[in-house]
Structure 1
Amino acid sequence: MELWYTEKQTDSFGITAKIKQTYVTEKTDFQDLAMIETEEFGNMLVLDGMVMTTEKDEFVYHEMVAHPALFTHPNPKRVLVVGGGDGGVIREIMKHPKVEQAVLVDIDGKVIEYSKKYLPSIAGELDNPRVSVQVGDGYMHIHDNKNAYDVIMVDSTEPVGPAVELFSRGFYQGIYEALKEDGIFVAQTDNPWFKADLIQNVNRDVKEIFPIVRVYCANIPTYPSGLWTFTMGSKKHDPLQVEEAQIPEINTKYYSPRLHKAAFVLPKFVEDLVK
């Protein structure tokens, strides 16, 4: 008998993957969590019926959350990751020697626990001495830490359940206040095929707060539509002003110095969304 996992990405469209085995299915205090092994993408973390990360394609998302911002900021000593309990963004941050401390705040400790057990290639840097892992509310952490961070990265689920407030204007205002005078923030902002309204709303809210706002894209096969957007808000530094020669080569599979500016060249229909 064959077992398949299907994510309904809309009411009339989904993706499916053949399952080899199921490690965990649990209703945590915050969400439905599953950790499964798939034939095509290896181990996969699923939250509330949505694919969060897989061993095969995770590097795209995690590299593109971390590196554009960290190579735009000239001296990112203190970095915050809101969400991201799988540890992938933290792993990428640790490739930057200028970072003295990275703080991870995830509301669901079970995500951290199971990621360490079943996704060690992703979560392997969570025990790094430069990393502080905190189980708690990222929204409240932002509001309790003013002028504290050089870079803030929002690695959230889609805006359902506990992540809804992470897409609000009040949250972005809190981020602005939690950043230092030349701080940068970046957030995943879903896909333009199915969530155009979300991208427009986020872009409008962030532009009301940050003087420099840039949207960029990446291809992530297991995320809805495969085309994913990220929104960067900056107080001072523009990612489009970073020259290729300024970016050192690091151990990556997707991001590169050449890709840095190219990622901000949007397909026309996405460009129209954020004008």
Structure 2
Amino acid sequence: MSLFTFGLDLASRLVPRVPRRIAYAIADIAGMALYALATRPRRVYVDNVATVIDRGDPDLVALRAREAFRTQARNYVDLFSLSRLTRADLDAIVTFSGEQHLIGALARGRGAIVLTGHIGNIDIVIQVGPAHGYRVILPVERIEPPELLDAVVRLRASHGIDVVPIDDRTGLRIVRALRRGYIAAIALDRDSRGTGRSTAFLGRRARLADAAAIIAARVGTPIVPVVTRRVGDRLELEAWPPIVPGEDGADSADDIFRRCVDAVETMIRRTPGQWVMFQPLFDRPKA
């Protein structure tokens, strides 16, 4: 076992034993330290979040950036706590509204795609699916080192989610799962393989993942936009009315994709300080 693997294993054993309020307080301190020391992630985040807040107000930009670093630090606390969460824990932590939209989408018999962005925390709220009896497939980016990917997959799968590292066959696996009534959880704002499409996003241009729109158009699967946000030590999960292929102007993959983009833009504008996007997202202006 490498030192890195040992550290991950130790964190997953120790963090759940610390009372959540204390763990979050420690995470807040760590987040502020990273905000001060991690120059490049801070610079990247400021460039991203400045699309939705006034870059001319440096105090507001700094406020939202600090909030994002704290949010991400708390997200790691949640990730390392996943394996020990019970249904009662989830019910105490997460408030779920709009579930009727998910139920209605699944009733159409072609599964459901849950569409979101990197907002709030997905690691805990996605566990609400299995806790409520839903079958969930979750594609995840292949991150380095491999030990970290293995740990993330193991933790996210600890309550029965089918976690699938993204490769050339992931789309086919998702389609097959949807036809068996699964929910596929897909984030729009991270095109990890560079196979998405460049589009207008939050007033600039960005390359976004279009897998949800392509799969929905192919299979006829409804897309349910879902957003999370932190409120104190709790999480709010909200499902919105579905985007249904062939209805309300969603007649092609292009139409569906534009509706997906609009939904995620709305999510980010609601809580920009909880948009934890620390990777470069937007196209750079040409000189």
TM superposition score category, shorter chain reference: 0.3 to 0.5
Greater C-alpha radius of gyration: 2
Which has the larger share of strand? 1
Indicate the structure whose relative CO is greater, using CA pairs within 8 Å and at least 6 residues apart: 2
- TM-score with structure 1 setting the length: 0.40
Which has the larger share of helix? 2
